[in-house]
Amino acid sequence: MAAKTHRVLPGFGLALGYTLVYLSILILLPLGGMVLKASELGFGQIIDIALGERSLAAFRVTFGASFLAATINAFFGLIVAWILVRYPFPGKRFVDALVDLPFALPTAVAGITLATLYAGNGWLGQYLEPLGIKVAYTPLGIVFALTFITLPFVVRTLQPVIEDIETEVEEAAASLGASRWQTFVKVIFPAIFPALLTGFALAFARAVGEYGSVIFIAGNLPLISEITPLLIISKLEQYDVLGATALAVVMLGLSFILLLAVNVLQWWTANRHKNNEPLEVAAAKASGGGQ
């Protein structure tokens, strides 16, 4: 007879049941319905739809632009989060609130605004186009829109983690003789890297599915600047619900694989970090006279 484990908080069974039902209704049911609908097509047909010239080009644009946007945000989002946590400056609360705006703005408004800004006669476009940089109605415009939309994911994921790093650890590293660069690379970065990956993954996932803002700035030219969600809409215009779900399922599968990879990577780095050394040890090591 297995010993019954007693948990500190009551209601575990209820909460777990609730979680499973909630997730099933909210996520599994619609997605399952979608997969079921797509399964009306044979596997071969789904592959044919996914491997068409237009679909492949759209997948390239969608995933490529999303990856770029998430990477840009991983870099600049880290800087923004760092500044917001570590340095006091006038208007900090205001800047902090600004970060959330892309969440709140209807995406179509964001797309139209960006297109107006970067068009040949826009505030920014008029200076960029003479330099040969075209943003609106090019794939670059897609990257810009996605970067705008996904900024909050990285910043908001990193902020609490950076807050948790005690300044004492940095001081310890410094007092033990680590250079600033060493402190960052050996002490701080390993601590925030898992959260950075999470932020990256969230931003990437959001970008892949984005439609509203992109269509207004993309230009939507076949093989050049068509995103996969646009092809899905195009199939719906033809009353081809099956084809649309097939594309959606393939997109979902690709996203799932990529997110899983990011999660594994994150789990691996977090584990390594945890098993190997607490921060204090890392601090001592970093300063260990160039190892």
For binding to other proteins (CB under 8 A), which residues are involved?
Answer: 52-54, 112, 115-116, 119-122, 136-137, 215-216, 218-223, 225, 230, 233-240, 243
Query: What is the smallest separation between the CB atom of 283 and other proteins, expressed in angstroms?
Result: 53
Query: What is the smallest separation between the CB atom of 4 and other proteins, expressed in angstroms?
Result: 50
Query: What is the smallest separation between the CB atom of 36 and other proteins, expressed in angstroms?
Result: 17
Query: What is the smallest separation between the CB atom of 34 and other proteins, expressed in angstroms?
Result: 16
Query: What is the smallest separation between the CB atom of 251 and other proteins, expressed in angstroms?
Result: 17
Nearer to other proteins, 228 or 255 (CB): 228
Nearer to other proteins, 107 or 150 (CB): 107
Nearer to other proteins, 137 or 148 (CB): 137
Structural tokens at position 265: 């990577």
CA 66 centroid distance within chain: 8
Nearer to other proteins, 137 or 153 (CB): 137
Nearer to other proteins, 72 or 215 (CB): 215
Return the closest-CA partner of residue 83 out of 161, 162, 150, 152: 162
